[in-house]
Homo-oligomer: A and B are copies of this chain.
Amino acid sequence: MMPEVPLDGLTDLMSRVFVALGTPLRDADLVARELSSATALGIESHGVLRFPWYVEGIRNGRIVPGAAMGTVEETETTAVLDCAYNFGQVAGYEALRIAVTKAATHHLAAVVTRRCNHTGRLGAYADAAADLGLIAFACGTTSPPSHMVVPFGGLDGRLGTNPIAYAAPTLDDPILADFATCVASEGKARMALRHSQDLPEAALLDADGTSTRDPAVLYSSPTRRLLPLGGGAGYKGTALAVLAELLAGMLAGEIPDDADRPVNGLFLLVIDPSAFLPLDDFKSHGSALRDYIRSSRPAPGHDRIIAPGDLERSRAAPAPGQTISLDPETWQEILDACEGVGVRPGLAG
């Protein structure tokens, strides 16, 4: 039996736990909201599932709530943001703020992070930029213990799921994409296993190094190995993962196989389309592009064409009174976290 909990109440509860652990209220609210939003969007791997891990991170010093962040290298268009192990979401929005400020004057800006924790859903930053009339391109990278993705033709994990996200304004909702550069992230595999579904073809390697779409293999093999996007053209997926690593890792000064690398690295590029053409024209052409793509007839087995961003919009932002299903284990972990800091687990949201 999955507990059905009100999302607003859960957001408030998580925030109160973060505050009880020394997090400034504004940051606590931000992180709790981001976790809830990701869950509401169906991206459970960046959602409230992560909450107990965040609480544990604060307790063991991996996350430092309220830590003072600041730029350590800076030019008119670029910055390296030292996140000082604050929450990754707090860091991500600070990186975005810096990039947007620079782009307002100089039309382009790029920011990378150092000492950054789990940034959560990368698309959130791109989406926020598009709401300001900007194009954003973001990518992320991870530390070696999370290097589960093998290079094309390889047996050993050498890359993270290294997501890429982008967003662009249109006349209505932004065009938005946010995806791992492997076939399926570990979060996708966990969901597929729970719902007894197969993954797309050639998503994982089994113990013998043979490709499989059975998500159970990920948890029965001695080593968890994910395959790069692209199947027989998987060198393209590897090239995308390497691009993310170059921008979000190397550019921040990381050494690829350094076991002490931070949990995540973030690269955020902002482009002001009004430097190229009137913003309304850009928005109008973006809407036309989406309509043009949607105008294709669906192939057998598909009932309609889903353009980038459509899925996120169809699920929409958390609505007042919205509830979510939590697995009993996660719910118990949340209750334990509350008890541990003396927060009464009420859900009157």
Question: Which residues of A line the B interface, CB within 8 A?
Answer: 73, 75-78, 80, 106-110, 112, 135, 137, 150-159, 166, 168, 175, 177, 179, 181, 183-184, 199-203, 205, 208-210, 229-233, 235-240, 242-243, 245-247, 249-257, 269, 271-273, 275-277, 281-282, 285-286, 288-289, 292-293, 295-302, 304-308
The CA-CA distance from A286 to B233 in the complex, in Å, is 23
Complex contact A156–B110 (CB within 8 A):
no
Considering only CB atoms, which chain B residue lies closest to A153 in the complex?
A: B302
Complex contact A179–B300 (CB within 8 A):
no
Count identical subunits in the complex. Answer: 2
The CA-CA distance from A108 to B270 in the complex, in Å, is 11
Considering only CB atoms, which chain B residue lies closest to A243 in the complex?
A: B166
Complex contact B308–A158 (CB within 8 A):
no
The CA-CA distance from A236 to B209 in the complex, in Å, is 24
The CA-CA distance from A121 to B237 in the complex, in Å, is 20
Complex contact B250–A183 (CB within 8 A):
no
18 new A-B contacts at CB < 8 Å, known A137-B243, A254-B285: A77-B275, A78-B272, A106-B106, A108-B109, A151-B296, A153-B301, A154-B296, A156-B297, A177-B236, A205-B299, A250-B273, A250-B289, A251-B282, A255-B288, A256-B288, A256-B289, A257-B292, A269-B269
Contacts of A151 in B (CB 8 A): 293, 296, 305, 307
Complex contact A250–B282 (CB within 8 A):
yes
Kindly identify which residue among B80, B275, B295 contacts A78, using a CB–CB cutoff of 8 Å: B275
Complex contact B201–A231 (CB within 8 A):
yes
The CA-CA distance from A269 to B276 in the complex, in Å, is 14
Contacts of A237 in B (CB 8 A): 229
Kindly identify which residue among B230, B275, B292 contacts A75, using a CB–CB cutoff of 8 Å: B275
Complex contact A305–B154 (CB within 8 A):
yes
Complex contact B285–A250 (CB within 8 A):
yes
